[in-house]
Amino acid sequence: MFLRRCLKLLHFLGWEFWLPLPLLGIVFWSSGNLLAEKVLSRPYGTVNKLQTDAPPEFYLPIYLLSVQAEVNKKLGVSEVVVKAIDPTQENVKFQFPVTDISQLENAIARELGMSIEEVRKLVRYQIND
């Protein structure tokens, strides 16, 4: 009689649904652990390796710290200030009669004896209209 009441109560609560849930949880937890352990213990190779002996992308002259160019379009001139690393050296100033950026880069490269790519990486522009 007591067993029959308990079975009716379990059937009323839906034991067919609730009984497999802990079993499914244990299965998912253990299979997830096994999969994670397998993936994390697997060796892998890197595609790009760090190269320490490679030469730098470009060489800067030792004396240059920065190149600042102020382009004044109204006057049609550009003033360039080259700052040196050594604080005892003076800043070198140039004035060019061009306002076009590509022509200015060519003129700076000619004056400093550098390539145009090196100049492009160093120079900072201030354009005044």
pLDDT number for residue 119: 87
52 located within any domain: no
45 located within any domain: no
105 located within any domain: yes
Binned at pLDDT 50, 70 and 90, residue 83 comes out as confident
| Domain residue limits at 34 | 2-40
Q: Is the domain of 73 the same as that of 32? A: no
- Region 46-61: mean pLDDT is 61
DSSP 41: T
Q: Is the domain of 68 the same as that of 26? A: no
Q: Is the domain of 17 the same as that of 68? A: no
Report the number of distinct structural domains present in the chain. Answer: 2
Q: Over the stretch 101-122, which tens digit does the pLDDT of each residue have? A: 999 999 999 888 888 988 888 8
Distances (CA, A) of 95 to 89, 107, 108, 114: 19, 10, 10, 18
d(CA 25, CA 16): 16
Binned at pLDDT 50, 70 and 90, residue 78 comes out as very high
111 located within any domain: yes
23 located within any domain: yes
Q: Over the stretch 6-52, which tens digit does the pLDDT of each residue have? A: 778 777 777 677 778 888 999 999 999 999 999 888 887 766 666 66
115 located within any domain: yes
d(CA 69, CA 98): 11
Judge whether residue 90 has pLDDT over 90.
Answer: no
110 located within any domain: yes
56 located within any domain: no
Whose structure tokens read 């595609």?
Answer: 47
- CATH number of the domain residue 75 falls in: 3.30.160
Judge whether residue 59 has pLDDT over 60.
Answer: no
